[in-house]
């Protein structure tokens, strides 16, 4: 796994919309927060596009792919943060394989270029499609964490999701010991040590077994979702469980499943219900990890190795997505 360089004050981060459209006013608080961290924010010109018919995509597939290509190719951009999730990132994956970068030595495929010039990708929800491909297939670690539109949700977050993101971007989180998560609820006992992949359950289930999803056998799988009613959650977990050739995880980490009750299972029983579905994988399972679609969304380093101990209720990552900052040179 390749770890992109961590950021430094003065670096430029690009904001793009590879999935759903975003309203400009909803981005401003997030942009101001990033600037307060000493970063320069570049809003790609296609960030606020809206594609018709339907209006649920942030521009055409070709336009969103072009924006993705441009910010990753741009040597002045140190990291790429998604404006929001929504839907649409998975539509880009087939053509992303065909993207090449022309340079004096010839042409490089997207994956080869990114491995040679790695930079962080940050986002969650529908951006899971890009995490699975970039971290799982290309082999460059990513950060599953807040999108710019959601920064306002975390103002009073007791789990300090934005502080986690800031420390992860600047490469200081692991050094501060913030990659040890305790107090998780044991669902099924056991231990596992493996790379961590996953994100939004719906996206993982939609892509499992495709060329754009890594083989999840013997990996630790972290999952969250929102607004998927109880029986649909069963369908999604069952889809993964039936994908026996590519989804036999070594362990499972469950985040928040917000707004998923209401048909047969009440909201106050949904966590127990989700736990029972995860138990069917016959591997160690912990729940209540602080990530999801609500106020707590602590960023997860995708592709990085962690140890899950269900008996102790702990998940400990061995490294963060970004490489630690280089020591200051001595004059």
Closest CA to 226 of 252, 200, 208, 205: 200
Residue with tokens 């209720």: 313
Catalytic residue check, 101:
no
DSSP assignment, residue 324?
P
CA angle 279/284/287 to nearest 5° reads 70
Q: Supply φ then ψ for residue 261, to 5 degrees.
A: -95, -175
| SS3 (DSSP) at 55 | coil
Residue with tokens 């969650």: 124
Strand 285-287 versus strand 220-226 pairing type: unpaired
Catalytic residue check, 164:
no
Catalytic residue check, 125:
yes
Question: From the CB of residue 311, how many other CB atoms can be counted at a distance below 10 Å?
Answer: 11
Out of 17, 44, 293, 295, which one is annotated catalytic?
A: 293
From edge to edge, which strands make up the β-sheet containing 314-317? 180-181, 314-317, 305-309, 191-200, 220-226, 251-258, 285-287, 185-188
Out of 51, 224, 228, 295, which one is annotated catalytic?
A: 224
Q: For 75-143, give the DSSP string.
A: TTEEEEEES--SS-GGGGHHHHTT-EEEETTEEEEHHHHHHHS--EEEE-GGGHHHHIIIIIII-B-EE
Out of 6, 17, 83, 125, which one is annotated catalytic?
A: 125
The catalytic site residues sit at: 125, 224, 293
């Amino acid at each position: 796994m390749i770890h992109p360089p961590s950021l430094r004050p003065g670096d430029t981060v690009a904001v793009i919309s590879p999935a759903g459209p975003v309203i400009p006013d909803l981005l401003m608080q997030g942009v101001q927060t990033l600037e307060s961290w000493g970063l320069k924010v570049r809003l790609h010109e296609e960030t606020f596009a809206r594609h018709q018919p339907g209006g649920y995509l942030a521009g055409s597939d070709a336009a969103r792919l072009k924006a993705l290509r441009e910010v990753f190719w741009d040597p002045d951009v140190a990291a790429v943060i998604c404006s929001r999730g929504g839907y649409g990132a998975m539509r880009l994956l087939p053509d992303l394989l065909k993207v090449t970068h022309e340079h004096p030595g010839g042409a490089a495929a997207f994956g080869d270029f990114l491995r040679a010039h790695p930079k962080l990708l940050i986002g969650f929800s529908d951006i899971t499609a890009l995490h699975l491909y970039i971290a799982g297939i290309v082999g460059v670690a990513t950060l599953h964490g807040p999108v710019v539109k959601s920064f306002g949700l975390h103002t009073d977050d007791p789990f300090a999701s934005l502080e986690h993101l800031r420390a992860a971007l600047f490469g200081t989180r692991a050094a501060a010991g913030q990659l040890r998560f305790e107090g998780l609820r044991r669902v099924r006992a056991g231990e596992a040590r493996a790379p961590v992949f996953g994100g939004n359950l719906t996206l993982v289930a939609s892509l499992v077994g495709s060329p754009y999803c890594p083989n999840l056998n013997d990996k630790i799988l972290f999952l969250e979702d929102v607004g998927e009613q109880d029986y649909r959650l069963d369908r999604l977990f069952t889809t993964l469980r039936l994908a026996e050739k590519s989804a036999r995880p070594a362990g499972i980490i469950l985040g928040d499943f917000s707004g998923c009750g209401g048909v047969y299972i009440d909201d106050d029983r949904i966590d127990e219900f989700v736990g029972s579905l995860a138990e069917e994988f016959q591997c160690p399972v912990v729940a209540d990890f602080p990530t999801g679609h609500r106020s707590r969304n602590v960023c997860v380093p995708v592709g990085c190795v962690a140890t899950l101990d269900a008996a102790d209720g702990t998940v400990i990552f061995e490294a963060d997505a970004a490489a630690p900052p280089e020591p200051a040179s001595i004059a």
